[in-house]
Amino acid sequence: MKLVIATRNPNKLEEIRAIFQINSLEIIDLRSYPELAPTEEDGATFEENAIKKAREAALATGEWVLADDSGLAVEALHGEPGVFSARYAGEPSDYRANNAKLLDALAGQTTRAAVFHCVIALSSPDGTARTVQGICRGTITNTPSGTRGFGYDPLFVPEGNTRTFAQLDAEHKNAISHRAVALRLAISEWATLLDNTGSL
């Protein structure tokens, strides 16, 4: 069976492909559907946006679709940037500008706790959707470190570590990240269904 991953973010796609491995599935992504317009991410929550992305792509392609919506919630900023993580410093999305804005917002702040959130939505071809969630707790550094990963990775030290996500190798990030937690849950909840092409 085909499963479409509804993301145009190459870093997310790589992480999803590395973790979400179910033998019977032929995994493709939105590059196979260049005519599809991007989903407007106007939901108030990660869950709303993940469902919207999965459902729109499922109805447009007639396939089963998996979508990710994720972001960073910083305690001292009352949960910001949250659902606005990708466009925190404006549009188009610019990781360097987002990181600079976050460091400015936290200047002089000693409370540097933050949580990465990830919601994975699965939609059947008729638009019925379910979600699972994962989080990863950590702290925000004072300066960026590391060159791997994407987004806020150079600023985020996951709990129990001394290095940022951008300093860890992909295997390490994929063992503990918010996306990894959600995707492992997705496998345990939906693998049998996807193997047998059941219904949600």
Tell me the catalytic residues: 69
User: Considering beta carbons, is residue 41 or 80 the nearer one to ligand IMP?
Assistant: 41
Which 32-91 residues touch ligand IMP, going by CB under 6 A? 41, 69-72, 85-86
Give the integer Cα–Cα distance in Å for 162 and 165: 10
151 is a site residue for ligand IMP (CB under 6 A): yes
Q: Which two tokens stand for residue 10?
A: 């190459």
Task: List the 156-158 sheet strands across, edge first.
Answer: 26-29, 2-5, 64-74, 113-123, 129-140, 156-158
133 is a site residue for ligand IMP (CB under 6 A): no
Angle between helices 10-19 and 178-196 (to 10 degrees): 60
Give the integer Cα–Cα distance in Å for 132 and 122: 9
User: Considering beta carbons, is residue 161 or 192 the nearer one to ligand IMP?
Assistant: 161
Report, in Å, the least distance between residue 81 CB and ligand IMP: 8
Report, in Å, the least distance between residue 150 CB and ligand IMP: 5
| Binding residues vs ligand IMP (CB under 6 A) | 9, 41, 69-72, 85-86, 93, 98, 116, 149-153, 165, 177, 179
